[in-house]
Amino acid sequence: MTQPYEGIIILGAPRSGTTLLRRLLDAHPGIACPAETCIFSACARFLHSEQVSDGLDFGVLTGLAFAGFQPDDVHERLRQFAFAFKREHARRQNKKRWAEKTAVDSFHIGKIEELCGDKVQFICLVRHGLDVACSMKELSNRGYTYLSEIHEYIKRYPRPMEAFAHAWVDVNRSMLDFIERHPDNTLFLRYEDLVSRPTETMQLVFDYLGEEWSDDLLQSALARKDNAGLGDWKTYDSTKIGYSSVGRWKSLPAPIASTLGQICNPMLEACGYDPVEVKQADSAETARRRYLFALMLGSGKNGQGKN
């Protein structure tokens, strides 16, 4: 097999299974995929610009252009800066190719495309939006904070689960648009397929990458504990691929699931998922009665066993 690209970048909303995928890639004898380095999202921030009132972009590309450095030159220098770290890591691992997984890269697809849209292979991983929202909530609770990219959504949508859902929609819209622009060097993958049919799915992945597949890669990937890093806190709790995290959103209260469904359904269907049932919201009076009933029910439970 031939590999036309030296690099591989995994894209996907946070909590979409990108860490699991990167562990499976890293187990390959020819691919080095460390934990999150943040190198490409950092490059994207470097390229960020704002448009001032007269339409001029205020950012590094325009600023350096006035100093005599053309945008293509800046992109090439920045690209080689980032690639150099990845190449060095691969060399230290005695591997020929490098891969990158940093979940927040998915919020910077436009700038990453400017930098290396046709220079590497991309794997775009999607997971059911409501499951992602549940997992983002768990991550935020564990870290007692929101990543800056997520915090931008919290400021717009004060209800966190709705903010997570909107973030998921925007990320996946960007990914689908990116895939349409780069059909030859992108692979669309669903998390649910990866965990339900890991062997078949990873064979597809390695065929796309132009790499040989070995049946023992799954076992060896999950047995390793020496390559953990940023973003890897949960996947290392397990040594096997499980399906238990699929459909966790179904335990959400019906009103919340319905609200998230309204936000996510068009994108869910675009990604091949069934839409979530959307129910008519309760009236204010019904909601008040339900709340009072829950209070009385809770009071009765709390009073059990007391004299």
Distance (Å, rounded) from C-alpha 224 to C-alpha 217? 11
Distance (Å, rounded) from C-alpha 150 to C-alpha 205? 29
CB 198 within 8 A of CB 218: yes
Q: How confident is residue 130, by pLDDT bands cut at 50, 70 and 90? A: very high
What does the longest C-alpha to C-alpha distance in the chain come to? 84
Q: Please name which of 26, 20, 16 lies closest in space to residue 8, comparing C-alpha atoms.
A: 26
Q: What is the pLDDT of residue 213?
A: 85
For 134, other C-beta atoms within 10 Å of its C-beta total 23
Q: What is the pLDDT of residue 218?
A: 83
Mean pLDDT of 99-112: 96
Distance (Å, rounded) from C-alpha 191 to C-alpha 273? 12
| Residue 3, CB-side half-sphere exposure with 13 Å CA sphere | 17
Query: Encoding tokens for residue 120?
Result: 């590497």
Query: Encoding tokens for residue 168?
Result: 């998921």
Distance (Å, rounded) from C-alpha 34 to C-alpha 23? 8
Assign domain 7-302 one CATH number from 1.10.287.3510, 1.10.3720.10, 2.60.40.3080, 3.40.50.300. Answer: 3.40.50.300
Q: What is the pLDDT of residue 272?
A: 96
| pLDDT > 90? residue 293 | no
Q: Which of 129-133, 135-139, 210-214 has the highest mean pLDDT?
A: 129-133
Q: Considering the chain, what is the average pLDDT of its residues?
A: 89
Q: Beta strand 97-101 with 121-126: parallel, antiparallel or unpaired?
A: unpaired
CB 246 within 8 A of CB 192: yes
Q: What is the pLDDT of residue 238?
A: 65
Of the candidate ranges 76-80, 112-116, 204-208, 210-214, the one whose mean pLDDT is the lowest = 210-214
Q: What is the pLDDT of residue 227?
A: 65
Of the candidate ranges 27-41, 181-195, 213-227, 290-304, the one whose mean pLDDT is the lowest = 290-304
Q: Return the domain boundaries, the chain.
A: 7-302
Find all residues with CB under 8 Å of 74, minimum gap 6, and list them: 60, 61, 64
**φ and ψ of 121, to 5 deg:** -95, 145
| pLDDT > 70? residue 185 | yes
End-to-end, the C-alpha distance of the chain in Å comes to 77
DSSP the chain: ---S-SEEEEE--TTSSHHHHHHHHHTSTTEE--S---HHHHHHHHH-EEE-TTS-EEEHHHHHHHTT--HHHHHHHHHHHHHHHHHHHHHHTT-SEEEEE-GGGGGGHHHHHHHHTTTSEEEEEE--HHHHHHHHHHHHHHHTS--HHHHHHHHH-SSHHHHHHHHHHHHHHHHHHHHHH-TTSEEEEEHHHHHHSHHHHHHHHHHHHT----TTHHHHHHH--SS--TT-TTGGG-SS--STTTTGGGGS-HHHHHHHHHHHHHHHHHTTPPPPP-PPPPPHHHHHHHHHHHHHHHHHHHTTT--
Q: What does the pLDDT look like over 81-95, one tens digit per residue?
A: 999 999 999 999 999
CB 268 within 8 A of CB 132: no
Q: What does the pLDDT look like over 29-53, one tens digit per residue?
A: 999 999 999 999 999 999 999 888 7
Query: Mutual orientation of helices 160-181 and 129-143 as an angle, nearest 10°?
Result: 120
Query: Encoding tokens for residue 135?
Result: 């997992």
Q: Please name which of 114, 109, 107, 95 lies closest in space to residue 30, comparing C-alpha atoms.
A: 95
Q: What is the pLDDT of residue 241?
A: 82
| pLDDT > 70? residue 233 | no
Task: Please give the share of the chain, as a percent, with pLDDT higher than 70.
Answer: 89
